Amino acid sequence: MAHEPAAPELLAPLDGLLPDLERLYTDLHAHPELSMQETRTAALAAERLRAAGYEVTAGVGKTGVVGVLRNGDGPTVMLRADMDALPVKELTGLPYASAATSTDREGKVVPVMHACGHDLHVTWLAGAAALFGRTRGGWRGTLLAVFQPAEEMAAGAQAMIDDGLFTRFPKPDVVLGQHVMVGAAGVLGWRAGVMTSAGDSLQLRLFGRGAHGSMPQASIDPVVMAAATVLRLQTIVSREVAATEAAVVTVGALQAGTKENVIPDEALIKLNVRTFDEGVRARVLAAIERIAKAEAAASGAPRPPEITPLDRYGSVRNDPEATHRVVAAFQRRFPPERVREVEPTSASEDFGCFGAGWHVPSVFWFVGGTDPETYRKAREAGRLGELPTNHNPRFAPVLHPTLRAGVEAAVAAAQAWLSP
């Protein structure tokens, strides 16, 4: 049976809107901003919402923007896009590649790039918001467009909540969001239940005793201590997590010393943990603490390590009933081969804060952004792992059909609640 287009009236103006959205996207890509610094991006989002007839509130959670469009009696739907970029030097070679730098929260000047596709997310939501504003005869209810800061710090959603998101704006019946990922461009990936993992970032500060490099006997070497700790941490997943469970432990930074003939006083380890089950999470975090303390004790450290939590993401769990409602809308809009059930991913998101805090169902899905032919060849050659992923300096979603697909998906999903 042929699929019937969902929300055809709402999407009718999309062809005419695409050139403007492409300009918005390339502008955002060339001018990325770090977490909680998204002032230019937020201003562009607010400008777009006002032009589409929304009531706009800026500065929610520092740089967040909320647009409200009331269109008669009916459900309230929230659509969310994150805005922040990453401290990554862009190597895509695109004509609109970022050459931006900025000062991070530690005071360092760093390169900045939209290496996770949040510029595309902003463009998708701007496009969907414009279409709902232009076609009010095709839907009823209230649309809440939320442009969120600081997803990369796991801080933006909570910052908006702490700034009164739940009390200052209409409570939605459902919260919807999407993310560009590696995959054939324009293909939508969905699942009910757990969609993304929980994520914990930690810092371990190890203490030793400095000395001259020629006199190691006078030292307690934190470099050796840190190296032993890093190696031992690798055994958590391989020896303490069952084969039927899942966890990732990644050491992303190991910092110690300034000169080759000076044994330093301290070493710093920064690591990241991804889990899908709360029990597994608790065991992994306990193992990290146990190993760090044990290696310090084995080295004769003058004091136990200092363990500091950095970021914390909860897992994103899609409400089954709401998910199937969204999928049905996708299946009416897209050919069957472009709507696929997927496995959970070990990436993490703070999107789940909204539905959990408001106690309403939420649905989060993926949109493929890889050139379809490139993706097909990589898959057939067994080389999918070589494609640039999110957070890679060469990550660059192909603009078409990814741009159109994300706008269509957002409109179709929201229309599943906002039908006349």
Q: Are residues 332 and 3 in contact, defined by beta-carbon separation less than 8 angstroms?
A: yes
Q: Indicate the DSSP class of residue 322.
A: H
As annotated, the binding site includes: 116, 118, 152, 179
CB count within 10 Å of CB 130 equals 23
Asked if residues 271 and 201 have their Cβ atoms less than 8 Å apart, the reply is yes
Q: What angle do CA 77, 83, 87 make, to 5 degrees?
A: 155
CA distance 380 to 163: 49
Annotated binding site for Mn(2+): 116, 118, 152, 179
Using DSSP bridges, classify how beta strands 339-341 and 188-190 pair: parallel, antiparallel or unpaired. Answer: parallel
Which DSSP helix (H) or strand (E) runs through 131?
helix 118-134
At 397, list the tokens. Answer: 């979603």
CA distance 249 to 200: 10
Residue for token pair 């739940």: 166
Please tell me the distance from the alpha carbon of residue 135 to that of residue 10, in angstroms, as a whole number. Answer: 6
Q: Look at the block and give the residue holding tokens 């998708």.
A: 124
CA dist 221 and 299 (Å) reads 8
Strand boundaries in 51-209, DSSP class E: 55-60, 64-71, 76-82, 101-103, 109-111, 141-148, 174-184, 188-190, 193-196, 198-207
Tokens describing residue 10: 């709402």
Q: How far apart are the first and last CA of the chain?
A: 25
Rounded to whole angstroms, the Cα distance separating 389 from 416 reads 31
229, 295 Cβ separation under 8 angstroms: yes
Q: How many residues does the chain have?
A: 420
Structure tokens at 104: 């991070």
Q: What are phi and psi of 147, to 5 degrees?
A: -100, 110
